């Protein structure tokens, strides 16, 4: 199979139409068998539930080529079960996780020529999503839904090395205590746009959201979980019911304990403690870990000892081990790597 002739190292993070996408429709209480299609356009009624009341959720994962030439994805079963949770919370029908994984495999296989080659640093980003598709004007869940998956190639996240980020303690809230912060709903992102645009205008890379009830505890950023390292090399990660359960963060915790022999604490993290940490990183599928160099709280700067030029040593070890597992250089735990072809 010929690869597309793209400058893989320089494609950036944007949408590019690839050959095939997957579509399944839910109607009269059941999902149809689903199919691959070349049609990248969706035609919807003007009153579709998703357009009026934002009934939609999504997932994000990547396919990439390992050193021995296989196309693989990383723990897609966890994306499938997280999407089940998102659907339940939004009163949407569950698209079963087994079918989710099968659909991911089908669509990646159908777009194999778009999966970047090993060593390019680029990956094929996979975007599963679901939305209410029939007209809804009184506030209630839709009766009909579409589940779709498209793929788009994305360039290496860190071009020219991982430069530590400067983040701002936000005055905006991301997720209410009993709200939807723990599911991957489009609505969480809609309400974060003003906060991130504001932060960018002020020269920050990202927002740190605190718990809205007391504003004393660290939650997460708009799209990544926090991981901290103490001066004595303990890995600490915030625990809260309104944090999105990042698959990357859960994998890093396992790697920290089982591969690196580090002590890990999953617990509430007071903002007050942040100044005492040695390292800080943001974890998510896109970057695995982005190092944080500086956190600014209303003009008061917290400079992490790891500095503004490179990843801290423990963060780097976590990053190297997890990416080594993903690329097939390090033996993966059972079930983590799903080979597609």
Ligand X SMILES: *Cc1c(COP(=O)(O)O)cnc(C)c1O
Distance CA 320, CA 91 (A): 39
Instruction: Give yes or no for residue 154 binding ligand X (CB under 6 A).
Output: no
Helix (H) / strand (E) containing 27: strand 21-27
Q: Residue 276 in contact with residue 307, Cβ under 8 Å?
A: no
CA 329 to chain centre: 23
Minimum CB distance to ligand X smaller for 48 or for 83: 83
Per CB under 6 A, the segment of 27-35, 106-114, 202-210, 278-286 that binds ligand X is: 278-286
Question: What token pair was written down for 223?
Answer: 């799209």
- Contact map string, positions 6 to 45, toward ligand X, x by CB under 6 A: ----------------------------------------
Minimum CB distance to ligand X smaller for 49 or for 223: 223
The nearest distance, CB 290 to ligand X, in angstroms, is 11
Q: Restricting to residues 91-130, name those near ligand X by CB under 6 A.
A: none
Minimum CB distance to ligand X smaller for 136 or for 210: 210
Distance CA 121, CA 254 (A): 24
Query: Which residues have a Cβ under 8 Å from the Cβ of 320 and sit 6 or more positions away?
Result: none
User: For 37-56, b where at least 16 C-beta lie within 10 A, e where not — what string?
Assistant: eeeeeeeeeeebbbbebbbb
Q: Residue 103 in contact with residue 110, Cβ under 8 Å?
A: no
Minimum CB distance to ligand X smaller for 26 or for 319: 319
CA distances from 77 to 80, 149, 233 (A): 5, 15, 31
First-to-last C-alpha distance (Å) of the chain: 11
The nearest distance, CB 182 to ligand X, in angstroms, is 9
Distance CA 160, CA 210 (A): 31
Instruction: Give yes or no for residue 151 binding ligand X (CB under 6 A).
Output: no
The nearest distance, CB 322 to ligand X, in angstroms, is 11
Residue 290, classed as helix, strand or coil, is strand
Question: What token pair was written down for 73?
Answer: 């994805």
Minimum CB distance to ligand X smaller for 245 or for 307: 245
Strand duo 35-37 + 235-238: pairing: unpaired
**Among 184, 217, 294, 317, which one carries the catalytic annotation?**
184
Instruction: Give yes or no for residue 56 binding ligand X (CB under 6 A).
Output: no
Instruction: Give yes or no for residue 279 binding ligand X (CB under 6 A).
Output: no
The nearest distance, CB 91 to ligand X, in angstroms, is 20
Give the number of residues in contact with ligand X, rule: CB under 6 A.
Answer: 14
User: φ and ψ at 312, to 5 degrees?
Assistant: -65, 160
Q: Among all chains, which residue has been given the structure tokens 């309400």?
A: 191
Q: Restricting to residues 212-251, name those near ligand X by CB under 6 A.
A: 220, 223-225, 244, 246-249
Minimum CB distance to ligand X smaller for 111 or for 285: 285
Instruction: Give yes or no for residue 205 binding ligand X (CB under 6 A).
Output: no
Instruction: Give yes or no for residue 326 binding ligand X (CB under 6 A).
Output: no
Distance CA 88, CA 282 (A): 27
Is there a catalytic annotation at residue 184?
A: yes
Give the one residue of 285, 290, 321, 326 binding ligand X; rule: CB under 6 A.
Answer: 285
The nearest distance, CB 59 to ligand X, in angstroms, is 8
Residues making contact with ligand X (CB under 6 A): 60, 184, 220, 223-225, 244, 246-249, 283-285
Catalytic residues, by residue number, are 184
């Amino acid at each position: 199979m010929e690869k597309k002739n793209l400058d893989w190292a320089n494609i950036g993070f944007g949408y590019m139409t690839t050959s095939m996408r997957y579509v399944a429709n839910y109607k009269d209480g059941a999902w149809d068998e689903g199919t691959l299609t070349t049609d990248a356009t969706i035609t919807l009624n003007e009153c579709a539930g998703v357009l009026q009341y934002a009934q939609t959720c999504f997932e994000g994962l990547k396919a990439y080529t390992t050193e021995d030439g296989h196309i693989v994805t990383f723990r897609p079963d966890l994306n499938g079960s997280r999407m089940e949770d998102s659907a339940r919370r939004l009163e949407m029908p569950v698209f079963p996780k087994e079918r989710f994984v099968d659909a991911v495999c089908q669509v990646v296989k159908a777009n194999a020529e778009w999966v970047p080659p090993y060593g390019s640093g680029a990956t094929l980003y996979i975007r599963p999503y679901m939305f209410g598709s029939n007209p809804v004007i009184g506030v209630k869940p839709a009766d009909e839904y579409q589940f779709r998956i498209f793929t788009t190639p994305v360039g290496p996240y860190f071009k020219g090395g991982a430069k530590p980020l400067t983040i701002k303690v936000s005055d905006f809230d991301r997720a209410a205590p009993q709200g939807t912060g723990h599911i991957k709903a489009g609505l969480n992102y809609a309400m974060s746009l003003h906060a991130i645009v504001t932060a960018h205008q002020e020269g920050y890379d990202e927002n740190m959201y605190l718990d809205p009830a007391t504003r004393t505890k660290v939650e997460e950023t708009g799209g990544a979980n926090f991981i901290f390292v103490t001066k004595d090399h303990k890995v600490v990660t915030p625990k809260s019911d309104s944090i999105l359960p990042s698959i990357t963060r859960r994998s890093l915790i396992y790697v920290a304990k089982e591969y690196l022999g580090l002590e890990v604490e999953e617990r509430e993290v007071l903002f007050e403690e942040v100044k005492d940490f040695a390292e800080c990183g943001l974890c998510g599928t896109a970057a695995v870990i982005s190092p944080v160099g500086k956190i600014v709280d209303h003009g008061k700067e917290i400079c992490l000892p790891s500095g503004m030029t490179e990843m801290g040593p423990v963060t780097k070890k976590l990053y190297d081990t997890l990416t080594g597992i993903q690329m097939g250089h390090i033996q993966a735990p059972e079930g983590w790597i799903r080979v597609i072809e």
